[in-house]
Amino acid sequence: MTHPLVATEYDTPFGDLAVLMSPADAVVRAAGFHPAADMALRVAPAFGARGWEFGESPQIDAVIEAWLGGDGDALRTVAVEQDGGPFFQEVWETMRAIPSGETLSYQELAEAAGRPRAMRAAGTACARNNIAPFIPCHRVVKSDGTLGGYGYGGLETKAAMLALEKRGRVPAADAAAAHSVAKAPL
């Protein structure tokens, strides 16, 4: 029997973060700063057909708490999977290797993924990433160091996430306020 995906929304300093995971293997299938219903539309068809429901995700709770508490590398400990060709998969894996508090340019990302002339394709892989912040596309910037785009809340969100990771922690009041929010699907 296949189970529906489990969706959990987290109240973060950057907005509500929706995470959808398959409960049998605890793999995150979609995540981002949009409502869970919107993120469910981005799940690979094989998993989207299962449907989804709000539920508990204790392992994700702990990772989000650690991230907001200053351990940006905790995001790497979560298993993730999304549809995409071999180059996109390589780019996404390369993004996961960017240490918390650091950035790569789109050019550097393309080089690290094995295709140094494919910086636009690397940018497209960032734009098609449906598992933010676990695949940390917010850590990719333009060659001149400016932020570039961020489809999960805009440049203010991207800048705030980078600032958190450079500082190593969210102020105590903000970290204490981050919690799982149970909501029913519409």
Active site residues: 137
* Six-digit token string for 28: 């995150």
Counting beta carbons within 10 angstroms of the beta carbon of residue 107, is it exposed (0 to 12), middle (13 to 18) or buried (19 or more)? middle
Residue 32's DSSP bridge partners are 18
Strands (E), 23-170: 27-32, 52-54, 104-105, 140-141
CB crowding 72-97: b at 16 or more within 10 Å, else e? bbbbbebebbbebeebbebbbebbbe
* Six-digit token string for 85: 């060709």
> Sign of dihedral through CA atoms 100, 129, 46, 39?
positive
* Six-digit token string for 42: 């981005």
